[in-house]
Structure 1
Amino acid sequence: MNATTTRGALLTALAYVLVGGSFTANSVLGHYPYAGGQFLRYGLACLLLVPFVGRGAAGRLRGLGARAWLRLALLAAVGMVGFNLAILAAERTAEPAVPGVLVGCAPVVVAVLVPLLDGRRPQRLVLHGALLVAAGAFAVQGWGRTDGGGLAFSVCALAGEVGFAVLAGPVLRALGPRLLTATVCALAAAEAAATGAVLDGGAWLRRPDATETAALLWQAAAVTVVGFVCWYMGVQRIGTERATLFTGLVPLTAVCTAPLVGTGSYGPAQAVGGVLVGAGVALGSGALPHLGRKPAPTAPRPHRADLRAAPGRTPHPSTDRRST
């Protein structure tokens, strides 16, 4: 990989490691109102980002058309608020591994969907890498009990993850990572407040205790501000298809950090899953560029007479031999 690709891969990996750690933080927010937590998380993240959006931010936002604003609203509703709501709804009747495995299939869907939307064929290495990542996510989490409702909401969570990846492309070019993150966080906070008012009435927001405050601060500052900005910076460098491969790091990080709060363990299945995820990321992201590619054709060795006939051409031992 070149320097740009390497930097993009590292930024994307960091983003998903932070997101994976957020699942452990979620375990201490089980009794906090969902909509209120999302409102505080995204609202605080927006405020933290405002000083860093750069000059001309207001002008860039005013330059967006109605279609771009609709895309941003859908990104916040589907990929952020809706995704988290679907996860919580799925876990009411399904074990957590079920939505986890479905979300782990996002790289496969993105590897097929994004090229089709661009009018091109899926890249074979990216698709093969995505399949390995999905298999690794399944190995890490396993499968669990569920019913029809749990499975349906798990599919909705998959759609939210895909939407978060796919919807950002055009507006990312117009706004850049920091302004885009600040904008969708503001929209997500407003949408979470509206959702809470409809579903929970006056109980949608309360003052968090010390532990809940720490978890919300982690989600706002580390996961949302740093994680989202790193994700979008990674997408700029390696593209949506390759960036989504790193989704497999989310369940792996969640499993590795869960024992720190006494909610999980790490065993052979997680080790195998980690190997599969790593192999899929390496294959699909271009870290193994020689696989599946035909070697470049070797130019025929020029005849000595041709070398003598070419004016100003002097044979040299390092260039006058067939490459091996």
Structure 2
Amino acid sequence: MNRNRIRGMSLAAFACVLVGASFTANSVLGDYPHAGGQAIRYGLAFLLLLPLVGRGAATALRALTPRQWGRVALLAAVGMVGFNLAVLAAERTAEPAIPGVFVGCAPVVVAVLVPAVNGRRPTRPVLYGALLVAAGAFTVQGWGRTDLAGIAWSVGALLGEVGFAVLAVPVLKPLGPKLLSATVCCVAALESAVAGLLSDGTAMVRVPTGQESVALLWQAAVVTVVGFVCWYMGVQRIGAERATLFSGLIPVSAAMTAPLVATGSYGLAQGVGSALVGAGVALGSGVLRAPAPAVVAPVRGDGPLRADTPPDRQPVAGGRHGGEGYEGDGRPGDGRRGDARPGNVQGRDLATGGRYPARADRPGGGRSLG
């Protein structure tokens, strides 16, 4: 497994752990106007992200097509504002475990949806890993009391989680993780403000208490700024299918941090569920896959490597001109140094095996000795 993939998995995992830990902060903000709180959170995150976007941000934003801007607006509305509203609405008539269980199914949906959109079949290890992650999330959270409305809003939360991963992919390349995070935060702040004015009017914001201020700052600076940038950097490296596997770490992180503020406990069920999530992530991300052995293919009939052949004469594949070269040459097979073929500028003394500059007063007249 290459270093780029390992870094991508680490970033995605870290982002999801931060989101899971933020559920503790959500419990502190239960009495604060939700839409107004989201507007403050995303607005503050946007201001904190501005110094990170770089000088070419304005050019990159102007280059976006109207369709791409529509996707950004949909990403903010569905994956951020809509997701949070759906979770809160579900918890009015259902226990918090219910939307958590549905959101835990996001890796399965993404593992099927993304390949279908691209016209290919789901990758089996990713799909099987996603099923394990969903089972682990269910085991960690369990089931609870609910009704039809709670289930409907929980499905909406699932769609929001899927949208947050999938809708970002086409605009991630032109904007990059930092600029994309800043842009969606700005749009989400505006959308939250509009939703707050429509639902609460001028009561959409109030002066937060000390604990509420700390919680809002944590969500803006840590969960949103650090979490979003890390998440999109992870998606950029390993793709939405594998990155979404790590969303199974959200309930695990929430369960592990809940005892710190006496809002829950971590017992046998949470331990078993955490193990299932870990196994699913390892299977789907390719950690358990053995690396393919390196094979040196014989080139142009030179045959396999031989123990009785000197190291500097072993055949190696490659070269700019498609032929084979020899270890110790300047470039394998390019005919520039060390091999006696047309086009080289430094020949080989076939009698002594030594090298000498190719000059007109030496054998070969500056040309190949071959």
TM-score after normalising by structure 1: 0.91
Shift of 1:315: 2.3
Identity %: 69
- Structure 1 CA distance, aligned partners of 2:104 and 2:118? 23
Is residue 84 of structure 1 aligned with residue 84 of structure 2? Answer: yes
Counterpart of 1:97?
97
- Structure 2 CA distance, aligned partners of 1:130 and 1:139? 14
Counterpart of 1:108?
108
Largest Rg, 1 or 2: 2
Counterpart of 1:3?
3
The 1:298–1:169 alpha-carbon spacing in structure 2 relative to 1, beyond 3 Å, is: closer
- Structure 2 CA distance, aligned partners of 1:298 and 1:170? 36
Match for 1:178: what amino acid? K
> Which structure carries more helix by proportion?
1
- Structure 1 CA distance, aligned partners of 2:246 and 2:302? 54
Give the secondary-structure state (helix, strand or coil) at the position aligned to 2:28.
coil
Match for 2:244: what amino acid? T
Is residue 315 of structure 1 aligned with residue 306 of structure 2? Answer: yes
Match for 2:77: what amino acid? A
Match for 1:169: what amino acid? V
Shift of 1:202: 1.2
Question: Runs (4+) of structure 1 moved beyond 4 Å?
Answer: 295-300, 310-314
Equivalences for 1:218-257 in 2 at 5 Å? 218-257=218-257
CA displacement 1:81-132 (0-9 Å, x = unmatched): 0000000000000000000000000000000000111111110000000000
Equivalences for 1:266-285 in 2 at 5 Å? 266-285=266-285
Give the secondary-structure state (helix, strand or coil) at the position aligned to 2:152.
helix
Match for 2:234: what amino acid? G
Match for 2:91: what amino acid? E
Shift of 1:289: 1.4
Gaps of 5+ in 1: 303-309, 320-324
Equivalences for 1:185-224 in 2 at 5 Å? 185-224=185-224
Equivalences for 1:82-161 in 2 at 5 Å? 82-161=82-161
> Comparing both chains, which one has the higher relative contact order based on Cα–Cα distances under 8 Å and sequence gaps of 6 or more?
1
TM-score after normalising by structure 2: 0.80
- Structure 2 CA distance, aligned partners of 1:60 and 1:3? 28
The 1:298–1:312 alpha-carbon spacing in structure 2 relative to 1, beyond 3 Å, is: closer
Gaps of 5+ in 2: 312-370
Match for 1:80: what amino acid? M
Match for 1:315: what amino acid? R
- Structure 2 CA distance, aligned partners of 1:286 and 1:55? 37
The 1:316–1:251 alpha-carbon spacing in structure 2 relative to 1, beyond 3 Å, is: same
- Structure 2 CA distance, aligned partners of 1:114 and 1:313? 42
Shift of 1:16: 0.3
Shift of 1:290: 3.5
Shift of 1:312: 9.1
The 1:313–1:278 alpha-carbon spacing in structure 2 relative to 1, beyond 3 Å, is: closer
User: How many matched pairs?
Assistant: 309
Give the secondary-structure state (helix, strand or coil) at the position aligned to 1:200.
helix
Give the secondary-structure state (helix, strand or coil) at the position aligned to 1:13.
helix
